[in-house]
Amino acid sequence: MKMKMTSPMLVRVVLMMATLCAVGDAQAAGCPQLPQQCSYIQQVVCDGTTHWFSGKYQHADMDLASLRYSISYNGKRNIVVSTCNTANLDTQLALFDCAALSQVETAANGTCGKYIEDSLYDNDDAAGCCLTSKLKILVGELESGTYIIGVCSYDGNGGGFTVTIFC
């Protein structure tokens, strides 16, 4: 039995493919400064969708953020990155400019790391989030481009977290 693909079906297939392609290599996302050992970084397309990721953090050094996610920001929406009440550790979040990543440290579990002090934006203990974090960057505060998001623990403990990224 042959099935004819209608326009709504084709649109759904294209949307599903775009969603699957939203995660990929950060170097391909316009961040050539990232060393090859950071190729695991997950790319998030800023399309107005909230993306959810779960992860584990293992302490390596105080204020050393494990680089996890890349966003291709188009300047058209607020950026919200949050672990608000979705982690069992005291989280910190940081947003780094791609240009600052030519040199990275070795963080836990072999991930690439960058110290919070080198970030453009960071947050620890957001209002209403107990010991977890939320970064909110309003339209106009940041130029279009590629940025890397790091996660770390304030107190040096490890644990699990869920991060949401909207842009």
Compute how many other C-beta atoms are within 10 angstroms of the C-beta atom of residue 40: 12
pTM of the entire predicted model = 0.79
Q: Between β-strands 121-124 and 145-153, what pairing exists: parallel, antiparallel or unpaired?
A: unpaired
How does residue 30 score in pLDDT terms, banded at 50, 70 and 90?
Answer: low
How does residue 107 score in pLDDT terms, banded at 50, 70 and 90?
Answer: confident
Token output for 157: 């403990």
Token output for 104: 């990275």
pLDDT per residue as tens digits for the range 33-52: 777 778 889 999 899 999 99
CATH ID of 23-166, from 3.30.1540.20, 2.60.120.380, 2.70.98.60, 3.40.50.300: 2.60.120.380
Q: Which residues contact 165 (CB under 8 A, 6 or more apart)?
A: 44, 50, 51, 53, 69, 71, 79, 80, 81, 149
pLDDT of 74 reads 92
pLDDT at 3 over 70: no
Cβ atoms of residues 23 and 43 within 8 Å: yes
**Rg of the chain, C-alpha, whole Å:** 17
pLDDT per residue as tens digits for the range 18-29: 333 333 444 445
How does residue 63 score in pLDDT terms, banded at 50, 70 and 90?
Answer: confident
What element of type H or E holds 149?
Answer: strand 145-153
**Least confident piece of the model among 30-39, 94-103, 123-132, 149-158:** 30-39
- Tell me phi and psi for residue 155, to 5 degrees: -95, 5
Q: What percent of the chain has pLDDT over 70?
A: 81
All structural domains of the chain with their residue ranges:
23-166
pLDDT at 66 over 70: yes
> 136 or 13: whose pLDDT is higher?
136
Q: What percent of the chain has pLDDT over 90?
A: 50
